[in-house]
A and B are shown apart, each in its own frame.
Chain A
Amino acid sequence: MTATVYFEQGLILAAVLFALGLIGVLVRRNIIFILLSVEIMLNAAGLAFVVAGARWAEPDGQVMFIFILAMAAAEVSVGLALALQMYHKLRTLDTDACDRMRG
């Protein structure tokens, strides 16, 4: 049997995930949750690539997903380092508390 990939449903799922991630980035004040939400957005984009790759039976979508994973790992390492530094300096993880670079 062949696995049926529901292309449109897949894209809708990706869009919903992306929107959820974006809302999380915008409404959360804790930097850990913001990083989590960014991960969700990255995975949404990855899902869209995979679905599109399956739709046209091309491996490119999965290649792109590997790229995204690698990038997400790099991003998380930098992001967590920043979060640590932030806690170290400000004793809080609230992003709204670190707004000293305003114009």
Chain B
Amino acid sequence: MMMLELLWLVPALPIAGFLILVIAGRLLSRPWIAAVGVGSVGLAFGAAVTVGISFMGAAPAANSYVQHLWTWMSVGGFTPSLSLYLDALSLVMVLVVTSVGFLIHLYSAEFMAAEEGYARFFAYMNLFVGAMLTLVLADDLLLLYLGWEGVGLCSYLLIGFWYKDPLNGLAARKAFVVTRIGDTAMSIGLFLIATNLGTLRIQEVMYLAAGHWAVGSGMAVAAAALLLGGAIGKSAQLPLQTWLPDAMAGPTPVSALIHAATMVTAGVYLIARTHLLFTLAPAVQAAVAGIGALTLLSAGFSALTQRDIKRVLAYSTIGQIGYMFLALGAGAWSAAIFHFMTHAFFKALLFLGAGMVILSLDHEHDIFKMGGLRSQLPAVFWTFLIGACSLSALPFITAGFYSKDLILFYSLASPLGNRWLWTAGVLGAFITSLYTFRMVFIIFFGEAKSLTGRRPGIMMTAPVVILAALSLLAGFIELPASFGNVRIFSAFMNNALPAIAVRAGASEAETTLMAFAAVVSLLGIFLAYVLFFAKPRYADSLASVLPGRLLHRFWFAGWGFDRFYETFIVRPFLWIARTNREDFIDLFYLGMIWTGRSLSTMLSLSQNGKVRMYAAGIAFGAVVALAIVVFL
């Protein structure tokens, strides 16, 4: 038990790193800044591993450990506390966040070496990780919300890190405002829960909700729907996904951190953490699955058409989070967390690989200006290829295959699943491997179009190699029943999240489904090979005929969501703001000011300095007073 008490160090260390860099960042030299920035997250990872070993070695009673730090406030029976809650779910999150976060920090130390604002960068990154750890370890929804907003703040600061270009500031504000829409829904949900159940402690909330609210009752649906609103905003799902592609304005390690370890997975975690509320509201849970399915399809088609390497990856993240939502909606909680973990590894890998490509080509983002990099950057090529294989779920050897296959299986086999969800998932898997290998073929094969600058150093290569290994090996802790039947991950997860019941007769179909998913993934890769490597003119002619061109433009613009919001929300809002520049509510207060001022002017006229007038005033007043006394 002694080791578990180190839990508070996990979020405290990155926050301490943040404080040191904020206070003393100007005084420290670059190696020291990197040492503090990377070291704090590394130590947090160490603390997380220590706590994790002790937790898994001798699991505490009730499979969870609560560390009460102090009571935040105590108002009329409502006493939110600063407590940390560790169970299987939060432990997996903490380990992934700290490990991937540490690798990204290590990579950034070299990636950002030539940039101004080195200390500022690491301060924000540390705060980002600290806020995310607060979020996942919070025992209380209020503390979770603190971390939630902290993550939002850091994403704003880091997306706009190169603030001298106004476009980056615009992207940062967009990310902040769009996620804020979801956050507003979530805060209303928290108020609803707090007023109805009188507490915000997650475990108590779930216990009380199960007792107070009937399945499908209005309260349960409202609470779950409002929390879902928050999750949609943070996790960039339809219809609030528009901020994520623009968030690519930040430095590449930031994108890796946002996509892999922090920020976008917060929504998945929130739903998994409060899963009982969603079980109480079947309609909302079905909506989660539906949103996931629609998101993964729309994001996949958009990713097919992008030219910017980071935007391809951004749309693919939206799609992969869509898979996690699909799993959550199907009730396959542990499958969602499993995919979160493998996705964190391979998406961080892909972003870091993309960062190395971008850096060696002097900040070139357009994939059509790259090409033939296979021989120039062999280390980047092989690791990026592993990440791409994992993302497109190359059968049997990659982690992405096992996690995605699990989701596809449950989207059909779960009592909450149906063939539509499964069809969407399989179609999405096909598109995923198509756009992933489009990217790989265009960047690394074909003729070389530009010369690379310097090769990435060891600090950038080592994290990528480690992530590549994890992207391959992490899948083997959870193998399907028909293929090895290893259940380490879900057995561990079931300590915190309920296991899923499978429909009768579904288990037999597992082998067929897996084979089908494998074939689909390979088909996508093959089609990418044909269209973008062997016969590129097919792709060109497809994109040049009229319907193809229109679709291409439509998908390139992300299904026109930005334009829709611009026309129907942003413009009218700006119009109202402009026409109401002199706020009409202010007229009332301006009137009060005017009345008071004119009365004062009139009164000050009477103060004319003539003693006789004052005497007359006194006399008149005395007469009036006497008259009132005498006659009334």
A interface residue numbers (CB < 8 A to B)? 22, 25-29, 34, 95-96, 98-103
Give 1 or 0 for each of B125-148: 1 = CB within 8 Å of chain A CB. Answer: 000000000000000000000000
Q: Is the CB of B612 within 8 A of A102?
A: no
Q: Is the CB of B610 within 8 A of A99?
A: yes
Neighbouring A residues of B607 by C-beta, 8 Å: 102-103
Please give me the 3 A-B residue pairs with the lowest Cβ-Cβ distance, nearest first: A99-B609, A103-B607, A102-B609
Q: Is the CB of B619 within 8 A of A96?
A: no
Q: Is the CB of A96 within 8 A of B610?
A: yes
20 chain-A/chain-B pairs, Cβ below 8 angstroms: A25-B612, A25-B615, A26-B616, A29-B612, A34-B611, A34-B612, A95-B610, A95-B611, A95-B612, A96-B612, A98-B609, A99-B608, A99-B610, A100-B609, A102-B607, A102-B609, A103-B603, A103-B606, A103-B607, A103-B608
Q: Is the CB of A26 within 8 A of B619?
A: yes
What CA separation (Å) do A27 and B609 show in the bound complex?
A: 16
Neighbouring A residues of B604 by C-beta, 8 Å: 103
Task: Please name the residue on chain B nearest to A38 by beta carbon.
Answer: B615
Q: Please tell me which one of the listed residues A26, A100, A101, A103 contacts residue B612 in the complex, with CB atoms under 8 A apart.
A: A26
What CA separation (Å) do A100 and B611 show in the bound complex?
A: 11
Neighbouring B residues of A26 by C-beta, 8 Å: 612, 615-616, 619
What CA separation (Å) do A103 and B605 show in the bound complex?
A: 7
Task: Please name the residue on chain A nearest to B607 by beta carbon.
Answer: A103
Residues 567-618 (chain B) with a chain A CB within 8 angstroms: 603-612, 615-616
Task: Please name the residue on chain B nearest to A102 by beta carbon.
Answer: B609
Neighbouring B residues of A25 by C-beta, 8 Å: 612, 615
Taking the closest CB of chain A, its distance from the CB of B138, in whole angstroms, is: 62
Neighbouring A residues of B612 by C-beta, 8 Å: 25-29, 34, 95-96
Task: Please name the residue on chain A nearest to B619 by beta carbon.
Answer: A22
Neighbouring B residues of A29 by C-beta, 8 Å: 612
Query: Which of the listed residues A96, A98, A103 has the most CB atoms from chain B within 10 Å of its own CB?
Result: A103
Taking the closest CB of chain B, its distance from the CB of A16, in whole angstroms, is: 16
Taking the closest CB of chain A, its distance from the CB of B596, in whole angstroms, is: 16
What CA separation (Å) do A26 and B611 show in the bound complex?
A: 9
What CA separation (Å) do A103 and B613 show in the bound complex?
A: 14
Q: Is the CB of A101 within 8 A of B616?
A: no
Taking the closest CB of chain A, its distance from the CB of B305, in whole angstroms, is: 75
Taking the closest CB of chain B, its distance from the CB of A74, in whole angstroms, is: 19
Task: Please name the residue on chain B nearest to A37 by beta carbon.
Answer: B615
Q: Is the CB of A101 within 8 A of B619?
A: no
Neighbouring A residues of B609 by C-beta, 8 Å: 98-102
Taking the closest CB of chain B, its distance from the CB of A22, in whole angstroms, is: 6
Neighbouring B residues of A101 by C-beta, 8 Å: 609
Query: Which of the listed residues B603, B604, B615, B616 has the most CB atoms from chain A within 10 Å of its own CB?
Result: B615
What CA separation (Å) do A98 and B611 show in the bound complex?
A: 9
Task: Please name the residue on chain A nearest to B623 by beta carbon.
Answer: A22
Taking the closest CB of chain A, its distance from the CB of B621, in whole angstroms, is: 13
Q: A26-B612, A96-B612 are in contact. List 14 more A-B contacts (CB 8 A).
A: A27-B612, A29-B612, A34-B612, A95-B611, A95-B612, A99-B608, A99-B609, A99-B610, A100-B609, A102-B607, A103-B603, A103-B604, A103-B606, A103-B608
